[in-house]
Amino acid sequence: MLIKLIKYEILADYKKYGIMGIAIVALAILALISEKTAPLYGSSGYGYSNFISAVFAISSVFIIFAASILLIVLSTIRFYKSFLKDEGYLMHTLPVHTWQLIASKLITAYIWFLFLLIISAVYVTILNGNITWIKDFSEGFSVGFYGESEYFLNSLMISSLISVLLTPFSYLAHIYFSFALGNLFSKNKLAMSVVMFLAINFAERVISSVLMTAYLVSINVDMTLTEITNSNTLLSIVLSVIYLIAAERIFAKKLNLE
C-alpha cells in the first residue's frame, strides 16, 4: 500500500517539479549561451557577459537553498491539501495505516529533494562548463579551515553533507507535528498550526542552546566543529523522530477533519 500511495503522490506533483527542473536547466543553458556569444558584440559584450556571469555565479550558490525552500513550501501545501482539506476525506478513508500516509508524503518529498539536488548539480555543472566545481568546493573547505588535518576536513564535510540531507526531514517532521497539534483545536486549526510551528521552533532552539552550552562548558570544552555539527544533527534526528511518532499518534487517534 505504501508503494501505491507514493505512486499517487508522485503523480500529483511530477509536473510542478518537472517544469521547475526544466526551467533551472534552461536558465543555465541561457546563461552559457549569453556568455559564449558575448564576444560577438565587441567590448560592450564583455561587460554584459561579466554581469551575466556574476549574476549566475551568485545564483549557483543560492540555488540549492532556493530549491530546498521551494520543496518545503510545495510539500507543506501538498500535505495540508491532501491530509487536512477536502482530499483528506478520501485519504483518511482509505484502508491504510496513518503511518503509511505520513511516510508516503515524507518519502515522496525526499524523492523530489534528491531530484532538485541533481538538477542543482546539473545547473552548476552547465554554468561551469565542467564538473571541477566539486573539486573547487572541497578546496574551498581546505582554504576555510587552513591548517586542519585531512581527517578533520573529511569528517566535517561528511557531517555537513548529512546535516544538509537531513534538513528537509527535520523541517517536514516539524511541520507535520505542527499540523497535528493544530488539528487538536476545535477552531482556527490552520492558524493554530502556525502558532504551534513557531512555538515548537522557539522551544527547540532554547533546548538546543541550553544543551549545547551545558555540554561545552561542563563536559568538553575542546569539542570540535565536527562534533558540534554531529551533536546538532543527532538532536535534530531524535526530535524529528519524536515529532513524527507524535503526529502519527494524533492523526490516528484524534483526527477531526473540518
Instruction: For another protein, give the closer residue by CB, 124 or 250.
Output: 250
Taking CB under 8 A as the rule, does residue 94 contact another protein?
yes
Q: Per-residue contact track with another protein, 66 to 85, x per CB under 8 A? A: ----------------x---
Nearer to another protein, 216 or 257 (CB): 257
Query: Measured from the CB atom, is 95 or 147 closer to another protein?
Result: 95
Q: Distance between CA 226 and CA 155 in Å, rounded?
A: 7
Residue 1 in the binding site for another protein (CB under 8 A) = yes
Nearer to another protein among residue 103 and residue 255 (C-beta): 255
State yes or no: residue 42 binds another protein (CB under 8 A).
no
Based on CB atoms, which residue is closest to another protein, 153 or 257?
257
The interface with another protein within residues 160-189 (CB under 8 A) comprises: 186-187
Closest Cα partner for 59 from 107, 34, 83, 27? Answer: 27
Q: Does 23 bind another protein (CB under 8 A)?
A: no
Query: Which amino acid does the sequence have at 70?
Result: L
- What's the residue count for the chain? 258
Shortest distance (Å) from residue 253 CB to another protein: 7
Q: 251, 240, 124, 230: which is closest to 183 by C-alpha?
A: 251
Grid coordinates representing 234 are 543527532
Residue 141: name the closest of 234, 229, 246, 54 by CA. 229
The grid cell for 64 is: 540549492
**Binding status of residue 92 toward another protein by CB under 8 A:** yes
- The site for another protein, by CB under 8 A, has a size of 25
Cell for 43? 567590448
As a whole number of angstroms, the distance between CA 1 and CA 201 comes to 33
Whether residue 173 contacts residue 243, with contact meaning beta carbons closer than 8 Å, is answered with yes
Q: Which residue in 16, 2, 151 sits closest to 78, CA to CA?
A: 16
What is the rounded CA–CA span in Å between residue 103 and residue 69? Answer: 20
Nearest approach, Cβ of 75 to another protein (angstroms)?
Answer: 16
95-124 mask for another protein (x: CB under 8 A)?
Answer: xxx---------------------------
Question: What grid cell was written down for 94?
Answer: 482509505
Q: Smallest distance, Å, CB 183 to another protein? A: 10
- Supply the minimum distance, in Å, between the C-beta of residue 181 and another protein: 15
- What letter would DSSP give residue 148? -
Residue 218 binds another protein (CB under 8 A):
no
Chain residues binding another protein by CB under 8 A are 1, 4, 8, 11-12, 15, 82, 86-90, 92-97, 186-187, 253-257
